[in-house]
Chains A and B, each alone.
Chain A
Amino acid sequence: MKIWWILVQRDLLMAWRRSSDIFSVVMFFVLAVVLFPLGVGPELDTLRKIAPGIIWVAALLAAMLSLDQLFQSDADDGSLDLLLLAPIPLETIVIAKCCAHWMVTGLPLILVAPILGILLNLPLSGFAVMIITLVISTPTISLLGSVGAALTIGARRGGVLVALLILPLLTPILIMSANAVDLALVGLNYTPLIALLGAFFLICLVVCPFVAAAALRLAAE
């Protein structure tokens, strides 16, 4: 557990030293959302209808941008080999990496999302659900993203590839989250969808570290 925490701290420190990366991911999120009113047109009714979907799509794309560096820099400077030799299971290391990744990517996205909700005229009744879905599902993105990032170590054009591999698997999150916000806006019961999002997170928590660890071992061969 101590090593685990040290690993999280290390990743956080490294992210802090390169804080412009975090900033650019958040700015991409904001920009992607801002583009929609310009493209779709400024009618507030239309925007309100598509706001949950837009925010979620933009969040997914922004998260994709941050994923390619999750393991690639470790593989480049050789620290991945040391991680493989570490006295704790590789699966826990993957969880540590995901945890740190969520803190530097998922958390800022959650903090910015309400502002974007205001820009898109999202009614107040939708805000809480929006935030809840983000809180539950951004860790899922980090977990599934770790699989994509681990599989594409050393691949050509890794960044685009991660998106191509992982986005189809992330569609359940998008559908269920946007649906939950929609239901909340109409005043219907959205808790089953929140529970399903939680279930999806738990499945990913069980499956993804093992697959990512297998992919890391493969990459180190």
Chain B
Amino acid sequence: MINLHRYANPNQFMRLSSPLVPVVGFLTCSLFPIGLYLALFVSPPDYEQRETVRIMYVHVPAAWMALLSYTLMATFSAVALIWRHPLANVMARSVAPIGASFTLICLITGSLWGQPTWGTWWVWDARLTSVLILFFLFVGYLVLYGAFDDMAKGARAAGLIAIVGFIFVPIIKFSVDLLDLRTLHQGASVSKLSSPAIHESMMWPLMIMAAAYLCYLITFLLLGVRTEIMAARLRAGHRMRAEKGVQLGSSE
């Protein structure tokens, strides 16, 4: 087993991550143009959906990354809770806003796609609803994190709710699937997009876009954690200087 505590040291993290940030940052910056070019210009329009299928290249990776972010957030929170790993809370906190934005991107692009395809911006279908609830879970985590005067307390409370949320996500997903049942026996139902095996010409742009999203996630996760560590150092520095100032003042 890897010795987690070796990486628990913020100094160690700063040292290891500083060469990583430009690398993943560069990958993000180069993969996005390539992926977007392939997705928006090279890949063929769909037989049924025509050009609107291109929204998929932005939408699907966002959904994947949103799920990955929530999993990461819950995992980091669990690590923080079990091993009292000081960096894990910071990692969980940094991944949360990124995950929330992916969820939001997923919802917005989905509704933009829904208008021409389904004829409506929003449908209370199982998938849409579960992503919306995922967004609320992210928001709840972030709000709870910031709701305490004592930051460490907020971090641990938020960590607990992230883990509980993770346990409940499958249950929520399952129950939300029942919504389809309800729309079925109450008239107006929207047939879901049946997914045929995706063709290679669409597969590649999608995969490159997913890689770009992943690099973006890693870049901003690292940047977020680094910022948080620097902010903590600044606070500590201020406190030390303030204490020193008090001592100087009293000795004078």
Quick one: CB contact mask for B109-138 with A, threshold 8 Å, 1 for yes?
Answer: 000000000000000000000000100110
**Contact A176-B175, Cβ < 8 Å, known A161-B143, A171-B133:** yes
**Contact A164-B143, Cβ < 8 Å, known A175-B178, A207-B164, A218-B153:** yes
A to B contact number (C-beta, < 8 Å): 85
CB of A169 within 8 Å of the partner chain: yes
Task: Tell me the complex Cα distance, A68–B143, Å.
Answer: 16
CB of A200 within 8 Å of the partner chain: yes
Q: Restricting to A135-167, which residues have a CB under 8 Å from any CB of B?
A: 147, 151-152, 154-158, 161, 164-165, 167
Q: Are B143 and A211 in contact (CB under 8 A)?
A: no
Task: Tell me the complex Cα distance, A171–B144, Å.
Answer: 19
Q: Are B182 and A151 in contact (CB under 8 A)?
A: no
Q: A151 touches which one: B144, B149, B186 (CB < 8 A)?
A: B144
Residues from chain A with Cβ under 8 Å of B143 in the complex: 161, 164
Q: B168 touches which one: A156, A164, A169 (CB < 8 A)?
A: A169
Q: Are A215 and B176 in contact (CB under 8 A)?
A: no
How distant is A163 from chain B, measured CB to nearest CB, in Å?
10
CB of A203 within 8 Å of the partner chain: yes
- For the residues of B in contact with A, the DSSP-based class is helix
* B165, B168, B181, most chain A CB atoms within 10 A: B168
Residues from chain B with Cβ under 8 Å of A175 in the complex: 175-176, 178-179
Q: Report the interface size for chain B: residues with CB under 8 A from the other chain.
A: 32
CB of A40 within 8 Å of the partner chain: no
CB of A186 within 8 Å of the partner chain: yes
**Contact A155-B147, Cβ < 8 Å, known A147-B164, A207-B164:** yes
CB of A72 within 8 Å of the partner chain: no
Residues from chain B with Cβ under 8 Å of A218 in the complex: 153, 156-157, 160
- Which residue of B has the minimal Cβ distance to A188? B185
* A157, A175, A196, A200, most chain B CB atoms within 10 A: A175
Residues from chain B with Cβ under 8 Å of A157 in the complex: 147
Q: Are A182 and B182 in contact (CB under 8 A)?
A: yes
Q: Are A156 and B147 in contact (CB under 8 A)?
A: yes
* B147, B148, B172, B176, most chain A CB atoms within 10 A: B147
**Contact A171-B176, Cβ < 8 Å, known A214-B160, A218-B156:** yes
Q: Are B172 and A207 in contact (CB under 8 A)?
A: no
CB of A121 within 8 Å of the partner chain: no
Q: Restricting to A88-124, which residues have a CB under 8 Å from any CB of B?
A: none
Q: Are A171 and B175 in contact (CB under 8 A)?
A: yes
CB of A179 within 8 Å of the partner chain: yes
Q: How large, as a class, is the contact surface on chain A?
A: 20 to 34
Quick one: CB contact mask for B151-184 with A, threshold 8 Å, 1 for yes?
Answer: 0011011001101110110011011101101100
* B160, B171, B174, B175, most chain A CB atoms within 10 A: B175
Q: Are A169 and B164 in contact (CB under 8 A)?
A: yes
Q: Are A152 and B147 in contact (CB under 8 A)?
A: yes
CB of A42 within 8 Å of the partner chain: no
Task: Tell me the complex Cα distance, A168–B140, Å.
Answer: 9
Residues from chain B with Cβ under 8 Å of A167 in the complex: 136
**Contact A165-B144, Cβ < 8 Å, known A172-B175, A207-B164:** yes
* A157, A176, A196, A218, most chain B CB atoms within 10 A: A218
Q: B181 touches which one: A161, A169, A171, A179 (CB < 8 A)?
A: A179
Q: Are A186 and B144 in contact (CB under 8 A)?
A: no
Q: Are A155 and B157 in contact (CB under 8 A)?
A: yes
Task: Tell me the complex Cα distance, A209–B133, Å.
Answer: 23
9 of the cross-chain contacts (CB-CB < 8 Å) are A154-B148, A154-B153, A157-B147, A168-B137, A168-B172, A169-B164, A186-B185, A203-B171, A218-B156
Task: Kindly list the 3 A-B residue pairs having the minimum CB-CB distance in the complex, ordered from nearest.
Answer: A172-B175, A155-B147, A168-B136
